[in-house]
Amino acid sequence: SFSLSELVKKLHSKVFLELDYETMKTRRSLRQYEIPDAEGYFDKYVYPVYLDIKTELTKEPQDVPIHGTNSKEHVYAVVMNVCHNSIKKDSMLDVQVEQC
């Protein structure tokens, strides 16, 4: 069975796109699904799961929340910076291990 907390433990870095309830609900309502959401699906399932995942993915101080209304360019720049810093950190650890 899927365990978010087990997956999160394996991640070096985490970036989470935050959205307020109204923006998220509006965006979801504008999407065209082959099978539309059942009445109340967003409030009963989608948003509560979002809140659970948000809690899990923003526990640590190094976790990076990004507001989902930022431009794609801003989000991309932040994600690239997080990835770059993670790679740089891992490379520094490799160097320290080799020096031992």
Give, for all 100 residues of the chain, the pLDDT tens digit: 467 778 777 777 778 889 999 999 999 999 888 998 999 999 999 999 999 888 887 777 667 778 888 999 999 998 898 888 888 876 665 544 444 3
pLDDT of amino acid 65 = 79
For the chain, how many residues are written? Answer: 100
pLDDT of amino acid 21 = 97
Q: Where are the domains of the chain?
A: 4-99
Q: How far apart are the first and last CA of the chain?
A: 40
pLDDT of amino acid 82 = 86
pLDDT of amino acid 43 = 97
96 is written with which tokens? 């320290």
CB atoms within 10 A of CB 56: 15
- Assign a CATH topology to domain 4-99: Rossmann fold (3.40.50)
Its pTM stands at 0.67
DSSP structure string for 45-60 = IIHHHHHHHHHHHT-S
pLDDT of amino acid 7 = 77
pLDDT of amino acid 98 = 46
Helix (H, G, I), strand (E, B) or coil at 43: helix
